[in-house]
Structure 1
Amino acid sequence: MIYRERALRHEYKFPATAAQCEILRERFSAVMTPDAHGENGCYRITSVYLDDVYRTAYNDKLIGADTRKKYRIRTYDLSDKLLHFECKYKDRD
């Protein structure tokens, strides 16, 4: 198995006042629309990621394996009526 250098993911988070949030909401509304699936345009997504006892998915991500997969159970708005079982698969070739 060949491993490549992996790009690091960076997230920046900034506190915002209610007034700043309103300005952003106004600016984004010119180019975006709220998601129609959620009440008031939003909903909670809850995911549980699954791995084996060897932490294969975790370690493959950590070392930047060319091919990797991970399984998750996902639900929306804390509903117990519909659960999604998904396999996310990445292949860099």
Structure 2
Amino acid sequence: MLTILVTAGALLLSVVFYWLKDGEQLAPQSARLLSFFAGTMMLTSAVTGLLCLALTVAVHRIRRDRPPLAITVTAVFVSAMPLATMLLLALNG
């Protein structure tokens, strides 16, 4: 559950930093700093997203009583969002 929250929070911060970098007239140093923060948060969300996917698979294999379906779907969706966002950013250039 914690990895879901960390992934969602890091992805949200990354999107906010990208939005601020592109939407405002900033000095070059500020734009570089926001771009660095956005990239760092995107990497953090991708790593924690992959960890969340691995933990979801491990929980389903190891535990006898499985978590509710809504939690599993949310975990997979939130974990896949950073990877999808990175793919979209790579395709847009």
TM range (shorter): under 0.3
- Structure 1 or 2, whichever has the larger Rg, is 1
TM-score, normalised on structure 1? 0.24
Q: Which has the higher contact order (CA 8 A, sep 6+)?
A: 2
Give the structure with the larger strand fraction.
1
